[in-house]
Structure 1
Amino acid sequence: MVHTLLDPADSLERQHEKLLQITDALMRRVEQVTNDSGAAYAQFERAALLEGQVRQRTQDLERVLDLLNESNARLAEANRATEAARSDLTAAIEAVEEGFALFSPDNLLVLYNLRFSMHLGDLKEQLFPGMSFAEYVDAVSSSTSIDLRSAEERIAWRKMRLERHKDEHAIFNVKLVGNRWVQVSAHRTPDGGTVILQTDVTDIMRLERQARDKLMDQQAIMIRATLDHLNQGVGIFDKDTHLVGWNHRIGQLLALPASQFRFGAHFDTLFDRMQDRLIFPKTMPREAVLDWVNAPKKRRALSFELKHKSGAILDFFAQEMPDRGFVVSLTDITAEREAAKRLFEANALLEERVAARTLELEHALSAAERANASKSRFVAAASHDLLQPLSAAKLYVASLAETDRDPIEQDTVRKAFGALESVENIIEALLDISKLDAGTAGLEQTAVPLGRVLARLRDEFAPHAQMKGLDFRVVGTSAMVYSNPLFISRILQNLIANAIRYTQSGRVLVGVRRNGGSVRLEVWDTGPGIAEEHQSAIFQEFHRLDTSASAPEGLGLGLAIVERACTRLGHQLSLWSVPGQGTGFFVNMQRFEGDNALPVAAPTPRRERKLTESGLIVLLVENDAEVRRAISLLLGKWNAAVLDVHSGDEAMELLDEIQIKPDAMLIDYQLDNGENGLNVVARLRQTYGDIPARIISANRSSELRQSCAEMKVELMAKPLDARHLEAFLATTVPVDLG
């Protein structure tokens, strides 16, 4: 254990005093020792060392004392400032005209002024700093200065005051004895305390009461004037069923003299006097009215019609007031009932006319529907009849393009082919419009892989965009949507074709944006844009903003087809455009939630020999002679051997006779005598195996496409496209030829 000469619990002054005493004792002892031995000298050295330590400790103590004195001086100055601030605060709150009190965040009274207890004389001696808010409320609720008549009222007031203390802000009036009023305003401080202000509002309350009494007198005059100007008869009864107010109209309606209506008259008495003049309905006899008037509980509004012996029809209405009194009103509705009777008779006559007119409209609608259906059938038939010779014409022109001609003739052939394609596009657009308007278009919806549709359209439109020098981009996607495969392709074809047609420079961008459970197709261009006033008109038939465009550039049917197809498919179509900046079309569709991983068709293997060198044998079944000759001529240009017949029976006979199996088959769907091409394909494949085949037809219905898909035969629409025909035949060339 380490021993020390000093007690750490002593103050610095006491420790200094002890060190001085120790030093003196040591010095005296050294002086008294006469022995000069080594021990005495060692004690002297220790004494000298101890004196140095005492001197250093003394200096430290002196510095500490200086700091302590400086801190005490600052503390005294702070206390003086605090007292001055407290004095100023006390003077300030005493100068406030209202009663003022401050409670701490833990609801203890911190300070208050004399006016805080001025209105409650017996509260002055009970207030003290540190008083809790609950004690303060107890003292106030028991004060004899508050106008509270019973112990129950004081308990209820105390409960109300404690509840209001929980609010951030509370303002309410307290009635004092002697008809005086104090307004109490309580506000929460930022640290959670509460400031309470009390203001004498007796004069204000008296002025308000005088103004209210004056207003009530004025209102009574106005109510009386209003009652006298009402077209209704009004009687007001108090809770004891005595008459307290009425107007002259009620006497006129009941044909009673004015002397019968006097203040305080009982309802039963008045009712007895007018019962001989009134005829009550069976559903509301006189006794029922009296039962309602004398009912002991709350009464619902009473309303019924009765007749006066003079012939007038009166509407009786009675309504209970909050004080259990009630108001009775009588309204002459004779004119209204007469008008209603005449209106009923007029309505009966009008209903007969409406029924007759409705029958006429139904006949007209039926005729219109038959006409519309007839128009659709006519358009379909006309389109088929037009597409047949158009197909032959395109094939003839395509065969001319295969020959070597001078540039002028080649240009003429190219223009003729372009004109025929324009006619084909117009016929297809008219056919689509007719089907969509008639509601006969096959719009069965299923899962559609957008990636495949976009890839095909990219290959189709890339050459057109390249010829115009446009940056044409199609962003691939794996999204699947719930739509109709044919019409979603037609929608995109029209939107992309329009974008390329009207964009002179810049780019065209096609892509897909996913948004939760929906997918949005977007087609953007940097074309001239569309002004806002024209954005709704562009979806009308035959409407083109570029009126200088020629017929081959479109007749304004593309966007009309887009709008109708989107409506029928339930796809939301929207548009953004700014003149001079470009246009964006958006088609929002439901996302298909099934399996997105559909197999991708394998690319066609590259053929080792050209089509012209293959020597293919093609069976052509076509009942239209012109189309048959045109196809034969074109196939002949490709060095293919054509076996052309006009029916399935003739095809079976020819193949049986020459004993040759064709490499490919082109078979028209609509043959003579009700025969169709799918049946012919089935008969031929049953005999000669799975020969590659295409059904050619102007019929573009989804039903036919579905039937072709079930037989694994693709549909090639008329008018035939020579490029598509060539691509099909190229797939039938054996890989090992040559």
Structure 2
Amino acid sequence: MSLVNPADSIERQNEKLMQIATSLMRRVEQKNDEAGAAYAQFERAALLEVQVRERTCDLERTLDLLQESNARLETASLETREARATLTEAIETISEGFALFDPEDRLILFNSRFCRGLSDVVDGLRPGLTFAQYVGLISTSRHLSLPDTLTPRNWADKRTRRHRDERVVFNVSLTRDRWLQVSEHRTAQGGTVILQTDVTNIIRLERQEREKMRDAQAQILQATLDHLDQGVCIFDRDQRLVGWNKRMDYLLDLPPQQAAMGHGFSGLLKRLNDQLRFSDPFDADMLETWVSNTQSRPPIAFEVVRETGQTFSVFAQEMPDRGFVISFTDVTAERAAGRALAEMNEMLEQRVEARTQALNVALAEAERANASKSRFVAAASHDLLQPLSAAKLFMSSLTGQLPDAATRDVVHKAESALSSVERIIEALLDISRLDARRPTFDVQPVRLSAILDPLADELTPVAQAKGVSLRVVPCGLSVRSDPGYLRRIVQNLVSNAIRYTDSGRVVVGVRRRAGVARLEVWDTGRGVAKADQKAIFQEFKRLDTSQPENSLGLGLAIVERACKSLGHPLELSSEPGRGSVFSVELPVRKAGMSTVESPPDAPLKGLVEKGQIVFLVENDDSLARAMTLMIEGWGAQVIHAASGEEGLALLSDIDLRPDALMLDHQLGDGMTGIELLRRIRLRYGHVPARLISADRSAELRAAARDAGAVLLGKPVDEAALVSFLNEAARVSAD
């Protein structure tokens, strides 16, 4: 605790200390205490005097420092006043309104230009004014020009929200078309500097330039519109007409442009409605509904027809400012051309329909002619095969009766010649069947060994006679195909390979790939040039005619047509002088299907059981005599009848059950061989039978199979006939 008040002056503090010392000395003198106590008091007084002197020195030094501080403070205050005056003069020289707010958003200073355009606000500006109060003064000023949709309170709220942004720049509209640009800048201490710039002249100049530019753009736009081939009308968001081009004057009868500008769309539509007729289903009400739509308008297109006959294609589309544009395009010529084209198309369709009918008639005639040709070929083949079969049988019966080897050789050659004729006739029959509009096939699972093994036995001697090696690779696969046609395909391919291979070999094999059996025939023959590889599949086409051949050139034609009809892809790879490869792709049989097995080997010519009774019904006398001669030469007995009725009567007269039946299918008396077989079996029960016919179609084979007989084709094969008679003898024995 201090003995003096530090706030007192130095003189006052010294005066108090002297009084304290005097008072202490007086006490010391007045005390009559013991000498020791008095001395102690004296020492204490002396010590106190020393402390007083030290304190006095400290106070004097403090006074000196205070006087020095006061001098410095006076200097700083003078400098501050000078700096403030300088700052005031500086901000007064600024051509913009200037104001400074401290970090607490209180107004510190401002110049005379601040809020000069808002005279009713100037009197309210004073240091210490808060920013919110400043905004309130501005918002209520009568010189502030606000939009109709914005109240002073809303403007103040919006201005206060913007004050929170780091940088603020915006324009304020004042009365009498004046503008202030207000910008805010943050100071390093967190205060705010507001600058107000009068931009009235700049905005007015920009407005003038914008109006000039708008006028220039409007002129450019109008010139552009005037050069369009379409008539164009432009409407603003209030549906008022604001412009159209010269093409509209040409297309439609409209009032003068100056008089029509600003008119509503409904009035213009009413005027146009008197001139235009809308095409169904669009009408004027739908257009007006589209125009009046307050939501987004999708583009629309429709057509109208003027009273003069012109047709316009109309397209209407909304603009970004909610205005819209309607364009009119004269499509009269296009629609006339379209109608002419439609009429032409209709006329062409009628002509095409008439031509199609004529072609259908011609096609029907061609199909009838083709069917007649097929029937003729079949009938002719049947008539040819009848005497051919008889000739072969006569030759066969002579072979065993002639003792002279030379004569037997002549007969053998005659048989060979007849066999060649038979193959030619069979090829003609095959071509005739494959040329039919809908050839029929008996597609079933077939074991390839049943096709390849007999062909190997049959054609190996032919190849050896020519000096060619024939090798057939064994195959255990089963495929789906027509057995008869598949055998003919493979036989023709192998025979063709042997025929055109002068030396070397022919190899037949099968490759299995992804459910397909690829049957290939390789040869080292003459080969076929690329340009001729299609021609060799044509009828009667033979590339090499240097050597006489017993062939009409139908083999590969039959192969190509049979493969195409059966759906077996056929390919040829060949090079002249290096041989050829023919390949046929066959679908492999699926598991669980029954398979046609290889027929048993045909027995060689030999005698049948003596005394066996064979009932033969054949209307061709020559063939009947030949068959009778041959069968009886083997030791059997033949009963012959020329017709079905004669056969039934003969069996009834002799009352004898035959051991075997040989029935011609076409008997010529209205009764077929199948019907005759049925009637015989009704009387005598099951009798082994063969149906004889030159018709080898799948339908007849199926009908014979259903009747419990086997079709034996003409010319009758001797080995097949012997096999049947031996089989019939075994059935009779059982």
Using the size of structure 2 for normalisation, the TM-score is 0.60
* Aligned equivalent of 2:721: 725
* Aligned equivalent of 2:570: 573
Q: Distance in 1 between matches of 2:650 and 2:281?
A: 96
CA contact (8 A) 1:304 1:315 kept: yes
The one-letter code sitting in structure 2 at the alignment partner of 1:464 is: V
* Aligned equivalent of 2:459: 461
CA contact (8 A) 1:611 1:729 kept: no
Q: Distance in 2 between matches of 1:548 and 1:150?
A: 112
| 1:224/1:458 CA distance change after superposition, 3 Å | farther
* Aligned equivalent of 2:421: 423
Q: How does 1:198-597 map to 2 (within 5 A)?
A: 231-234=229-232, 248-255=246-253, 259=257, 274=272, 276-281=274-279, 283-320=281-318, 328-347=326-345, 349-350=347-348, 352-404=350-402, 409-410=407-408, 412-439=410-437, 441-548=439-546, 550=548, 552=550, 554-596=551-593
Q: Distance in 2 between matches of 1:681 and 1:373?
A: 29
Matched, 1:677 2:673: yes
Q: Distance in 2 between matches of 1:694 and 1:439?
A: 30
CA contact (8 A) 2:446 2:597 kept: no
CA contact (8 A) 2:445 2:595 kept: no
Cα deviation for residue 400 of structure 1 reads: 3.9
Worse overlay, 665-674 or 266-275: 266-275
Q: Distance in 1 between matches of 2:316 and 2:677?
A: 89
| 1:283/1:696 CA distance change after superposition, 3 Å | closer
Cα deviation for residue 278 of structure 1 reads: 3.4
| 1:383/1:304 CA distance change after superposition, 3 Å | same
Q: Distance in 1 between matches of 2:525 and 2:256?
A: 88
Q: Distance in 1 between matches of 2:599 and 2:491?
A: 24
* Aligned equivalent of 1:666: 662
| 1:733/1:348 CA distance change after superposition, 3 Å | closer
The one-letter code sitting in structure 2 at the alignment partner of 1:392 is: A
- Give per-residue Cα distances to partners, 1:394-434, cap 9 Å, x unaligned: 22233344454766655544443333223222222222222
CA contact (8 A) 1:614 1:733 kept: no
- Give per-residue Cα distances to partners, 1:588-613, cap 9 Å, x unaligned: 34333242565857957999x95289
CA contact (8 A) 2:472 2:507 kept: yes
- Give per-residue Cα distances to partners, 1:462-521, cap 9 Å, x unaligned: 322232233323334343333323322222222222222222233333333333344333
The one-letter code sitting in structure 1 at the alignment partner of 2:436 is: A
Cα deviation for residue 696 of structure 1 reads: 1.8
Matched, 1:702 2:734: no
Partner-residue secondary structure (3-state), 1:447 = strand
CA contact (8 A) 1:376 1:434 kept: yes
Worse overlay, 411-420 or 332-341: 411-420
How many positions carry a matched residue from both structures? 521
Cα deviation for residue 698 of structure 1 reads: 0.8
CA contact (8 A) 1:479 1:596 kept: no
CA contact (8 A) 2:644 2:669 kept: no
Cα deviation for residue 715 of structure 1 reads: 1.8
* Aligned equivalent of 2:629: 633
- Give per-residue Cα distances to partners, 1:260-284, cap 9 Å, x unaligned: 6999998678657755543434643
Q: Distance in 2 between matches of 1:293 and 1:312?
A: 24
5+ residue gaps, structure 1, are 1-148, 153-218
The one-letter code sitting in structure 1 at the alignment partner of 2:574 is: S
Q: Distance in 1 between matches of 2:328 and 2:497?
A: 74
5+ residue gaps, structure 2, are 1-161, 166-216
| 1:294/1:689 CA distance change after superposition, 3 Å | closer
Partner-residue secondary structure (3-state), 2:428 = helix
| 1:615/1:604 CA distance change after superposition, 3 Å | farther
Cα deviation for residue 379 of structure 1 reads: 2.0
Select 2:642's aligned residue among 642, 646, 657.
Answer: 646
Q: Distance in 1 between matches of 2:249 and 2:727?
A: 105
Select 2:607's aligned residue among 608, 611, 614.
Answer: 611
Q: Distance in 1 between matches of 2:638 and 2:458?
A: 29
Q: Distance in 2 between matches of 1:682 and 1:717?
A: 20
Cα deviation for residue 457 of structure 1 reads: 2.7
Q: Distance in 2 between matches of 1:706 and 1:150?
A: 105
| 1:341/1:629 CA distance change after superposition, 3 Å | same
- Give per-residue Cα distances to partners, 1:558-589, cap 9 Å, x unaligned: 22222322333333333333333332333334
Using the size of structure 1 for normalisation, the TM-score is 0.60
The one-letter code sitting in structure 2 at the alignment partner of 1:574 is: E
* Aligned equivalent of 1:72: none
Partner-residue secondary structure (3-state), 1:317 = strand
CA contact (8 A) 1:480 1:596 kept: no
Q: Distance in 2 between matches of 1:602 and 1:450?
A: 12
Q: Distance in 1 between matches of 2:436 and 2:219?
A: 72
Worse overlay, 491-500 or 404-413: 404-413
Q: Distance in 1 between matches of 2:279 and 2:471?
A: 84
CA contact (8 A) 2:445 2:593 kept: no
Alignment root-mean-square deviation, CA? 4.4
| 1:698/1:270 CA distance change after superposition, 3 Å | same
| 1:419/1:258 CA distance change after superposition, 3 Å | farther
Worse overlay, 221-230 or 629-638: 221-230
| 1:278/1:579 CA distance change after superposition, 3 Å | same
- Give per-residue Cα distances to partners, 1:354-383, cap 9 Å, x unaligned: 554444444433333333332222222222
Q: Distance in 1 between matches of 2:603 and 2:306?
A: 105
Cα deviation for residue 451 of structure 1 reads: 3.0
Percent identity between matched residues is 50
